[in-house]
Amino acid sequence: MKAGDCAQDQRIWQIDDIVADVFHMLLQQSCNVVGDAAAAGIDISAKVLLSGAIEAQCLVEFPQATAKKLTDAFLGCENNWENALIEDAVGELCNMIAGGWKSKLGALASASDLSVPAISRSRGPDRNTLNGRHLKMRRTYAFDNSPFTVTLAIRRPVENRSSCR
């Protein structure tokens, strides 16, 4: 499905602004879109699920070097961080992006809950846990010349499907 197919589905396409806002507010850094293909060499990911009136997921994926730079930015200095701390930073970023996205989803979002971030160090062929028909968007961003990928998927509610045809 293309972004312009249905007005209520525009909510998924706001992710660029949300990612930029999170990086600016949280880390005082700029973060720019660099494409739609996944970042190369993914080593660590975090996923947050949205459930309730809206079913959706937010997945962030990082090469190890980018995840380390993210942790450096979060903590304000460079160090050889333990894996658990790097995982916490990746999970927190995913949580912030998912929360920012949820805040843009409208009235149904108030009747939906975010999960805690689930961290993974394995690369699977498809990390989408939503069954049925859904909208999906993947974007690759970079901060400090370091790429990472954000994938959003949202299940289309049954009552909205006919109005989007």
* pLDDT above 50 for 147: yes
pTM: 0.83
Q: Which amino acid is at 81?
A: W
What are the tokens at 125? 């062929």
Domains of the chain: 8-158 (3.40.1550.10)
pLDDT of residue 128: 57
Over residues 35-86, the pLDDT tens digits come to 877 778 899 999 999 999 888 999 999 999 999 999 999 999 989 999 999 9
d(CA 40, CA 158): 36
Digit-coded pLDDT (tens) for 12-43: 668 899 999 999 998 999 999 998 777 788 99
Q: How far is the C-alpha of 50 from the C-alpha of 153, rounded, in Å?
A: 10
